[in-house]
């Protein structure tokens, strides 16, 4: 069984946006063991869509299309698939109702073209969209299966994981199962070297490493006659990886994030946390608050962007700022201590740095960031030199703040328990 991906959108052809949907879909279907030998992009143009559908349907069992399901005139993916398969478009009652509800909830009057989104090719199944008005569509024809997805990544990704993955799995004879071991504190090359013997001898399960922002993910994927058999093949390899990487592994769950691992760690140890951020401007706190249930653990955050706010909100001393400057080990220390004291939390993460593009000097260049972590009396501060633009420096800072926090919390717990 093989699939191919057609992304529809003039903005892709003009290079206005990067095609993250293709990478997302490709990664998901490769996990399922479905072969994918072609990806393509066509504009919002009926003739070229039809010609691509002809080409694609001649070589692929499943065609996954993204984009062009919106309410406007230039959205015509659905119309192209209907024309190509010679099926009329009919209104899907459930989709119409959910569009009605979507607008009623917002107190907005839908315009005539909004109803266009409730149309599906006759015989197709509408797939509910939790994050927008355009439903997805699954259409099975004699030769080929068509899956139409909305273009905005936030809509596409959650629809794919919740509804398209189970559908694709239901098509397969065998079953693929994979788990991802997530690692911090080890680079990709080193991680690969540490498991070279496993990679070289891999067959089923297969092992692949992926470099993420300040993380390495190792995916173990097995194929079996059923899920149970595939799971059984994956289990010992995951166990071996956990043994090799020890506490650098923060999770072996696909859905888990580093911030979630930290929240769980704090929650199970009845500890609370806070943040004091300068250059990240709330990126650490908003990442933590993104975890459902963070309210059990996260008390409050301070964005102390100006020197004055560092002094006033978390009590950084004027003398320290004058002597060492806002971007210094000393100020990071006082920010973490002060934040913990004001918020009465057990853990406090601090970040102060120069994100650029301006503000760097020879002595303190753009990319210099100090990250601190207070845990019940002790503060650890690390100095980082990041490269990249402002956003890159800020996201690396936020990620490394979480990595340091996890490290400090683990050290504290192990000291209390064994030390």
Residues 290-329 that bind a second copy (CB under 8 A): 290, 292-295, 298-306, 308-309, 313
Q: Which two tokens stand for residue 397?
A: 């800072």
Cα angle 175, 128, 71 (rounded to 5 degrees) comes to: 130
The Cα–Cα gap between 272 and 268 comes to 10
Bridge partner list, 208: 219
CB of 377 to a second copy, least distance (A): 22
Q: Which is nearer to a second copy, 64 or 124 (CB)?
A: 64
Residue from 60, 77, 163, 275 in contact with a second copy (CB under 8 A)? 275
Phi, psi for 101 (deg, rounded to 5):
-65, -40
Q: Which two tokens stand for residue 316?
A: 């950084």
The residue range among 106-114, 222-230, 329-337, 408-416 that interacts with a second copy, by the rule CB under 8 A, is: 106-114
CB of 336 to a second copy, least distance (A): 16
Footprint of a second copy on 164-193 (CB under 8 A): 178, 187-190, 192-193
CB count within 10 Å of CB 86 equals 9
Matching residue, tokens 């629809």: 159
Residue 189 host element (H or E): helix 188-194
Q: Is residue 257 near a second copy by the rule CB under 8 A?
A: no
Residue from 13, 90, 233, 413 in contact with a second copy (CB under 8 A)? 13
Distances (CA, A) of 391 to 90, 211, 277, 354, 386: 46, 18, 15, 11, 11
Q: Is residue 338 near a second copy by the rule CB under 8 A?
A: no
Size of residue set near a second copy by CB under 8 A: 108
The half-sphere exposure of 237 on its side-chain side, counting CA atoms within 13 A, is 27
Q: Is residue 160 near a second copy by the rule CB under 8 A?
A: no
What is the bridge-based pairing of β-strands 175-183 and 206-212? unpaired
Q: Is residue 360 near a second copy by the rule CB under 8 A?
A: no
Q: Is residue 15 near a second copy by the rule CB under 8 A?
A: yes
Residue 171 burial (10 A CB sphere; 0-12, 13-18, 19+): middle
Distances (CA, A) of 6 to 138, 140, 217, 259: 15, 17, 27, 34
3-class DSSP state for residue 278? coil
Q: Which two tokens stand for residue 7?
A: 């992304």
Footprint of a second copy on 20-79 (CB under 8 A): 20, 22-30, 36-43, 45, 48, 52, 55, 70-74
Residue 139 host element (H or E): strand 136-140
Q: Which two tokens stand for residue 123?
A: 């015989």
Q: Which is nearer to a second copy, 85 or 345 (CB)?
A: 345
Residue from 358, 363, 377, 418 in contact with a second copy (CB under 8 A)? 358
The Cα–Cα gap between 415 and 417 comes to 6
User: Do residues 8 and 48 touch, judged by C-beta distance below 8 A?
Assistant: no
Q: Which is nearer to a second copy, 275 or 320 (CB)?
A: 275
Q: Is residue 282 near a second copy by the rule CB under 8 A?
A: yes
Q: Which is nearer to a second copy, 13 or 413 (CB)?
A: 13
Q: Is residue 361 near a second copy by the rule CB under 8 A?
A: no
The residue range among 166-174, 225-233, 260-268, 356-364 that interacts with a second copy, by the rule CB under 8 A, is: 356-364
Q: Which is nearer to a second copy, 217 or 317 (CB)?
A: 217
Q: Is residue 388 near a second copy by the rule CB under 8 A?
A: yes
Q: Which is nearer to a second copy, 124 or 215 (CB)?
A: 215
Q: Is residue 419 near a second copy by the rule CB under 8 A?
A: no
The residue range among 86-94, 136-144, 284-292, 405-413 that interacts with a second copy, by the rule CB under 8 A, is: 284-292
CB of 300 to a second copy, least distance (A): 4
What lies within 8 Å, CB to CB, of 371 at 6+ separation is: 332, 349, 350, 351, 353, 381, 382, 384, 397, 400, 401, 404
CB of 5 to a second copy, least distance (A): 8
Footprint of a second copy on 197-256 (CB under 8 A): 199, 208-211, 213, 219, 221
The Cα–Cα gap between 346 and 379 comes to 11
Q: Is residue 10 near a second copy by the rule CB under 8 A?
A: yes
The residue range among 136-144, 275-283, 369-377, 407-415 that interacts with a second copy, by the rule CB under 8 A, is: 275-283
Q: Which is nearer to a second copy, 58 or 268 (CB)?
A: 58
CB of 42 to a second copy, least distance (A): 6
The residue range among 81-89, 231-239, 374-382, 392-400 that interacts with a second copy, by the rule CB under 8 A, is: 392-400
Matching residue, tokens 């892709």: 12
């Amino acid at each position: 069984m093989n699939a191919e991906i057609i992304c529809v959108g003039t903005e892709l052809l003009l290079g206005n946006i990067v095609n993250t949907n293709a990478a997302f879909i490709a990664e998901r279907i490769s996990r399922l063991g479905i072969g994918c030998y072609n990806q393509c992009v066509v504009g919002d143009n009926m003739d070229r869509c039809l010609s691509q559908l002809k080409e694609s349907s001649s070589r692929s069992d499943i065609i996954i299309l993204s984009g062009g399901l919106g309410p406007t005139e230039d959205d015509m993916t659905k119309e192209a698939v209907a024309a190509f398969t010679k099926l009329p478009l009919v209104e899907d009652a459930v989709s119409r109702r959910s569009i009605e509800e979507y607008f009623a909830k917002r107190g907005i009057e839908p315009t005539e073209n909004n109803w266009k989104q409730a149309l599906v090719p006759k015989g197709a199944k509408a797939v509910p969209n939790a994050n927008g008005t355009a439903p997805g569509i699954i259409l099975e024809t004699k030769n080929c299966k068509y899956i139409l997805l909305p273009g905005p990544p936030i809509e596409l990704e959650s629809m794919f994981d919740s509804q398209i993955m189970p559908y694709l799995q239901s098509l397969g004879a065998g079953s693929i199962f994979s788990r991802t071991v997530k690692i911090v504190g080890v680079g990709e090359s080193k991680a690969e070297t540490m498991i070279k013997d496993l990679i070289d001898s891999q067959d089923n399960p297969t092992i692949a490493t992926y470099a993420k922002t300040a993380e390495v993910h190792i995916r173990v994927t097995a194929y079996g006659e059923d899920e149970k058999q595939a799971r059984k093949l994956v289990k010992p390899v995951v166990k071996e990886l956990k043994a090799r990487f020890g506490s650098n592994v923060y999770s072996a769950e696909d859905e888990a994030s580093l911030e979630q691992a930290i929240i769980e760690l704090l929650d199970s140890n009845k500890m609370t946390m806070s943040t004091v951020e300068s250059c990240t401007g709330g990126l650490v706190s908003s990442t933590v608050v993104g975890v459902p249930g963070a309210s059990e653990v996260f008390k409050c955050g301070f964005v102390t962007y100006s020197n004055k706010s560092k002094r006033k909100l978390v009590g950084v001393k004027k003398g320290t700022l004058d002597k060492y400057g806002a971007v210094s080990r000393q100020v990071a220390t006082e920010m973490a201590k002060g934040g913990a004291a004001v918020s009465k939390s057990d853990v406090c993460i601090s970040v102060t740095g120069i994100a650029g593009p301006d503000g760097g000097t020879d002595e303190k260049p753009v990319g210099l960031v100090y990250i601190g972590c207070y845990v019940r009396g002790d503060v650890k501060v690390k100095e980082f030199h990041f490269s990249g633009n402002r956003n890159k420096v800020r996201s690396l800072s936020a990620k490394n703040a979480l990595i340091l926090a996890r490290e400090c919390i683990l050290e504290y717990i192990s000291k209390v328990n064994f030390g």
